[in-house]
Amino acid sequence: MTKKRKRQDDFQKVKLKVGKRKPKADNATDVNFRTKGINLTEQLKTGTGPTTHRHLNIKDLLSQLHHYSGGVKQGALVGLRELLSLHPHLLDQHLSSVLSEVAAVFTDKDSTVRAAAVRLLRFLAQCVPSERVAPFFPLLSAHLTCAMTHIVEGIQEDALRVLDVLLEHYPALLSARCTVLLRNFLELISQRRLSRAGKGVEERKPGSWTLSTAPGRTVTAQQWRLTVLTRLGCFLQAVVEERPAEERGTFGDFLDGEEKGRGCVTPLELTWEEHAFRKGGVQVYENSGAQPAVPSSFRLRPVTEPGAGVTEGLVSVETVRGFAATLVPLLLEVWVEASTSEQGKTDSAHLLAPESMSLMYQVLTILQLLRRLTPERHQKDDLDAWFRSSYLNDFKHHFMKNFPYGLLEVAKHKKKGELKRTKQQAAAGGAGSVEPLALNVTLCQVMVSLSSRPQGGQDAEWLGPIRGFATETLSSGVRLSSRHLAALLEVVWRLVLTHRSRAVTEELLQAAQVQYQQRNLTLPVRMLLLRFFSRLYLQEHQAQPHIARSKVLSRWLAALPLQLAQLGSRNPHLSAQLLQTVQAAAAWKNRDLLHSLQTHACRLYDPQEGSVVLLPADSQQRLVELVYFLPLLPPELLSCLSRCCTAGRVSTSLAASLVRLVHIRSSLCSWSAGRQEVAVSDVDYFSFLFSTLTGESSCSHGNVCALLGLPVMLAWFSSEKLAALQHAGEDMVLPPSPLSPLSIYPTQQEQFNHHWLIVEEVCHCLETLGSRSQCFDVLQNAICKNLTGLQVVPDSTAAALLRVVSRLLDLSLLPNEILLRFLSDCCLSLLSLLEQEQGIPNNAEKSEAVRDVCLAALSGVPRLLRLVLQSLRVSDLCEEEFSQLAQTLSYLLRQSQLRNHMLANAALLQHIIQDLTRYCQGEAQEQWLTDLLYCYSVTLSTHRGNLGLRDIY
């Protein structure tokens, strides 16, 4: 009892009483304390970097691509697209990981995952350039190859969608690995044939392939082949287009092929100023500086970047031939199946269903591209010869059997679900409907490429339907697209070169001429037709007599000048192409073109609305050069040319070139090496130079008089503009005065400079003539009869007359009194104009030229200075003109080349100064009078001594 009572003492129960507070337990916690929270920002973060709306960053999304669930992988792909579209900078950090993970799901078993991968790949291709994708493209190509050769049909179909994305955005990278991918295309539609070599043993025959059929596909075998062949055609097109420019041909612009094969020719630049008036030859180098096209396939190093699949490309003709030997038989099988698929539906074998027509069109397109896979252009003929020897009979048997083909139209009743099935088939096919014209034209291209020029007679039988189709299509007048027209013109070109018959050539070119004569053609179609006729003539007419004698081509050439004149400035590019042909034909002296050019020359060189002033500078240069080839230069044409030179609508260099060309075509030119026949008479030549010299071109031809036994034109200078100036008011011209006997019409600085450079060229031409005395007499007579009666003269014309007279005059020639008085009036009026225009901005160059020509005339023309001084009557001047006269005299006295002449006329000069001193009044005039007296005294004191008239004249 004692022990039990003792244990109870250890665990005594506290008795609670009602109304009493419960005692605290021994282990009670004291809660009377304060707490504060600690916020650890970095430690509590749940993720790093940008996230999607599901709070997943890029590492989470990439890791989810390895999940076993297709839904998770699809969500990860969608999340990647969302994240990268919102934060594009993540591509710079994770491009390698993203591409590798996306490429890995190309072969995923879930179709939704593959579709999401294709969408993400398309998004990435739009954001990332090819330069950044190039290091990772071998990995993409490897996964694409695995997908294309997969045993699951759905994965193969999605692989073609991946191929579409890469072809659209990275064709160069894809074409660099063409060999492996081409083999993948073969395995998509065919398989190896197997033959038993013994019991239980199978072996494969090398190179033996046959079309395959997969019953489990959602589309028919024909639709699947159309899908694959469409992609194969796009892939081959990319391979051809990504070749270097010197190696690949042109499909849409086949006419460039002949020129590109001859190397890039550098034009020879000649300077007329150095060679126009020399009798020596011009040194011309071989190839005109071009690099000759050497037919060699040797390369010092690969042309592609390392790691870009160099060993996988089509590096030789043997590689192309080996691939074609495998593919062409398969294409023939596809053709046979497609052509016979509608036999039970119609009695006409040439009518095809849209699906069959599309499939056959792809077969022909691939055959066309196979011919262009050769690495070098010179190997194309070898490949064509191999195609001819290997497959010509098969092509004639299958392709030409029912040519030309048409579209079979069958009325079908729409059933439930047919629209959805049609959309699925269209998506699987990947190509739209093909017109019968496209199929027939492509077939013509394939077949004419197999024709041989030496054996053109043997091929006439099967080329006949092709020639008939091309002729009928072109001559029907139906408007053709640029693509169809380019193909037909290529067929016509090859047929013309193959047959070498004038009758066939006329028939084909006449059909093409029908297309050319249509109105309102689009610019690409018009340029295509123009290039066809132009290059057919430029490249083949010398080597092919039947082309050179073609009447259709001659009529086409004869119509070009009129077309050029009618075109005007509406299409400079088309005008440039026309000019290139016209210039080449004129250089070859085509009679029909030269006759037409002569007929429409005045319209082409019209100074107001002619092509020579409306077209750009390059075309203007060609038109100016055409003047050299014109048979004749009649007065009407020379009038237009003169106005073109002086109107300012062509550059100064072109105007000077035009003057030189007219000079070369005259009988007075001393340059006889390689000259054309004389095209301009002496009368018209002097008229042209005189009109161009005075700056106002003539409008009508005047009378001809004889001077010194030479027929010289004197009076066909009659300008409407110059006649109108005679009645101009004082607001346009400076009124006459005692110091300015003529009313001077001041020209703008730019116009004066343009005319002044032409004046120098005219003076140079006149100086090269045989008899300078006769030339001066002609010029003197022309000035006296046409210009001395004028009261208003442009300053450029007055300066030009002083310039030409001072350059042509020598010690043996003396001008008559009428010319001297007119020149003195011009000189005095120009000096007065200079004093009045002092201080005008942007006029220094013109003033300098006028001063120089006045000084040259006063020092070089006998008695001219005396006449100028005699015309100065101080009594006729007003007070404002005294200072102007004194300043002019002071300027003349300061010129060293005039001091001897001033001394010879010292008496006249002294009389003028005395009159000025007598009439000078007031202090305002003392300064200029003091300057004049100082200059006069210095001149007399410096040169006083032994001086006679012989030293002056």
* Per-residue confidence band for 347, with pLDDT thresholds at 50, 70 and 90: low
Tokens 């099935």 sit on residue? 421
pLDDT score of 604:
93
Tokens 């001047």 sit on residue? 877
d(CA 492, CA 445): 10
Tokens of 729: 């008011």
Please state, in angstroms and as integers, the Cα–Cα distance from residue 799 to each residue in 181, 742, 750, 822, following that order: 78, 13, 15, 12
Please, what sign has the CA dihedral across residues 39, 45, 49, 54? negative
pLDDT score of 707:
32
d(CA 953, CA 948): 9
d(CA 582, CA 592): 11
Please state, in angstroms and as integers, the Cα–Cα distance from residue 72 to each residue in 50, 52, 64, 272, following that order: 20, 15, 7, 78
| Closest alpha carbon to 644 in 676, 605, 603 | 605
d(CA 590, CA 557): 9
d(CA 452, CA 898): 83
pLDDT in tens, 63-92: 988 999 989 999 999 999 999 999 888 888
Tokens of 696: 């106002």
221-241 and 317-339 helices, crossing angle to 10°: 150
Percent of the chain exceeding pLDDT 70 equals 78
Please state, in angstroms and as integers, the Cα–Cα distance from residue 353 to each residue in 250, 345, 400, 410, 796, following that order: 31, 10, 18, 8, 79
pLDDT score of 429:
45
Q: Is 673 exposed, middle or buried (0-12, 13-18, 19+ CB in 10 A)?
A: exposed
713 within 8 A of 683, measured Cβ to Cβ: yes
Whether pLDDT at 708 is above 50: no
394 within 8 A of 332, measured Cβ to Cβ: yes
Tokens of 620: 């203007």
The CA dihedral of 311, 313, 314, 318, to the nearest 10 degrees, is 30
d(CA 618, CA 119): 50
Reduce the DSSP state of residue 115 to 3 states and report it: helix
Pairing of strands 351-352, 406-407: parallel
Average confidence (pLDDT) over 685-696: 85
DSSP string covering 575-627:
HHHHHHHHHHHHHTT-HHHHHHHHHTHHHHT-TTTSHHHHS-HHHHHHHHHHG
* 174-183, 220-229, 449-458, 539-548: range with lowest mean pLDDT: 449-458
pLDDT score of 43:
58
Whether pLDDT at 352 is above 60: yes
697 within 8 A of 655, measured Cβ to Cβ: no
Tokens of 643: 């106005």
| Closest alpha carbon to 920 in 905, 902, 933, 934 | 933
Reduce the DSSP state of residue 422 to 3 states and report it: helix
| Closest alpha carbon to 244 in 175, 169, 163 | 175
Whether pLDDT at 674 is above 90: no
pLDDT in tens, 122-179: 999 999 999 999 999 999 999 999 999 998 889 999 999 999 999 999 998 988 888 7
> 363 vs 14, which has greater pLDDT?
363
pLDDT score of 709:
32
Most confident of 4-8, 179-183, 559-563, 745-749: 559-563
| Closest alpha carbon to 656 in 698, 632, 686, 627 | 627
81 within 8 A of 56, measured Cβ to Cβ: no
Whether pLDDT at 574 is above 60: yes
Count how many Cα atoms sit within 13 Å of the Cα of residue 506 in the half-sphere of its side chain. Answer: 9
Average confidence (pLDDT) over 606-625: 92
Tokens of 15: 């008795």
Q: 436 pairs with which residues across the strands?
A: none
Q: Is 576 exposed, middle or buried (0-12, 13-18, 19+ CB in 10 A)?
A: middle
Mean pLDDT over all residues of the chain?
79
> Helix/strand/coil (H, E, C) string of 41-99?
CCCCCCCCCCCCCCCCCHHHHHHHCCCCCHHHHHHHHHHHHHHHHHCCCHHHHHHHHHH
The CA dihedral of 817, 821, 826, 830, to the nearest 10 degrees, is 130
Whether pLDDT at 766 is above 50: yes
pLDDT in tens, 920-930: 765 555 677 78
Q: Is 242 exposed, middle or buried (0-12, 13-18, 19+ CB in 10 A)?
A: middle
Q: 737 pairs with which residues across the strands?
A: 740
What does the angle CA 356 – CA 362 – CA 368 come to, to the nearest 5 degrees? 140
| Closest alpha carbon to 626 in 595, 601, 590 | 601
pTM: 0.75
Pairing of strands 743-745, 704-707: unpaired
The 8-class DSSP code of residue 244 comes to -
> 538 vs 676, which has greater pLDDT?
538
d(CA 694, CA 712): 17
**Which residues lie closer than 8 Å to 748 by C-beta, 6 or more apart?**
none
d(CA 74, CA 35): 48
Q: Is the peptide bond before 295 cis (omega within 30 degrees of 0)?
A: no
pLDDT score of 49:
76
Single-letter code of the amino acid located at 926: E
The 8-class DSSP code of residue 208 comes to E
Which region holds residue 648: left if phi is over 0, alpha if psi is between -120 and 50, else beta?
Answer: left
Average confidence (pLDDT) over 287-313: 42
Instruction: Indicate the helix (H) or strand (E) that contains 749.
Output: helix 749-767
* 318-332, 615-629, 702-716, 924-938: range with lowest mean pLDDT: 702-716
713-730 exposure pattern, b = at least 16 Cβ within 10 A, e = fewer: bbbbbebeebeebeeeee
Whether pLDDT at 440 is above 70: yes
Single-letter code of the amino acid located at 642: S
Average confidence (pLDDT) over 543-555: 88
DSSP string covering 525-550:
HHHHHHHHHHHHHHHHTTT-HHHHT-
Output phi, psi for 724, to 5 deg: -70, -30
Most confident of 129-138, 282-291, 409-418, 765-774: 129-138
